[in-house]
Amino acid sequence: MEYSLDVAGLEIQVIQKAMKTVRFTVYPPDGRIRVAAPIHLKRSQVLQFIQQRIPWMKKQKLRVASLKLAPAPEYIEGETHLYLGQSRKLVFGDVAQAGVRGKQLVLPAKYKGNASRLEKTLESLYRKAMKEFMERRIPFWEKEMSVRVKAHGVRKMKTLWGSCNVRTHRIWLNLELARMSEKCIEAILVHEMVHLKERLHNHRFYGFMNTYLPDWMEREKELKEIGVRYY
């Protein structure tokens, strides 16, 4: 169920679906506001949640308006892209698939000029980096937390850095995280794995976060500053 509300001068898109918590998102570049809420809530209840977050939404709209968004990539020689938190220049070479060479990202020369194909090729490199990171770090955190991740994967997400299905013990991380430092990626991985110990974002949840990753707030702050497409 989708509908729009005008509250305190803010135009808000509301979607109610099968979920457990109310989620607020302010999108760049225009500050569009979206609220996702559980389907069982009455519209009056959703409105109460919205009214409580009006100061936050107005603050986020101002922040989003001040962001300097990077232009859409063209996938041309010498263009700079982030890879695991480091800026690397694109070069073309006689390679079958994208790879890393020093401070360069090497793309197949045969795809030069084909932006859509180059985008997919680069995404495959990002996906590989994310999968390798998860396969390396999940066993460590399983032991630290005494939990078990039964399945994990990487996919594109529009509004989340990661997700955890506490019933199936499946962890998903956002492909976009491959542009961030491993410190940032680990913060999201730990966040999602902590949900296997506590489903809700409550004092117990944040107590676990402080125990396992005391600097998690600084890491997530870095995400907010760099990952402007998602905040």
Confidence band, pLDDT 50/70/90 cuts, at residue 65:
confident
89-118: pLDDT as tens digits: 999 999 999 999 999 999 999 999 999 999
Please give the backbone phi and psi of residue 173, each rounded to the nearest 5 degrees, phi first.
-120, 150
Neighbours of 15 (CB within 10 A): 14
| CATH fold label, 80-230 | Zincin-like (3.30.2010)
* Residue 168 pLDDT exceeds 90: yes
* Residue 19, both tokens: 């979920």
Confidence band, pLDDT 50/70/90 cuts, at residue 223:
confident
CB 180 within 8 A of CB 157: no
Mean pLDDT of the chain: 91
The pLDDT score that the predictor gives to residue 231 is 27
DSSP element (H, E) containing 32: strand 32-38
**Which regions of the chain carry the CATH code 3.30.2010.10?**
80-230
The pLDDT score that the predictor gives to residue 227 is 54
Classify the C-alpha dihedral 197-184-155-30 as positive or negative: positive
Neighbours of 110 (CB within 10 A): 12
Confidence band, pLDDT 50/70/90 cuts, at residue 151:
very high
The model carries a pTM of 0.75
User: What residues contact residue 223 under an 8 Å CB cut-off, 6+ apart?
Assistant: 161, 180, 184, 187, 188, 230, 231
d(C-alpha 69, C-alpha 73), whole Å: 12
pLDDT above 90 coverage of the chain, percent:
80
d(C-alpha 128, C-alpha 134), whole Å: 10
Distance between the two ends of the chain, CA-based, in angstroms?
Answer: 24
* Residue 220 pLDDT exceeds 90: no
Of 6-10, 59-63, 156-160, give the lowest mean pLDDT range. 156-160
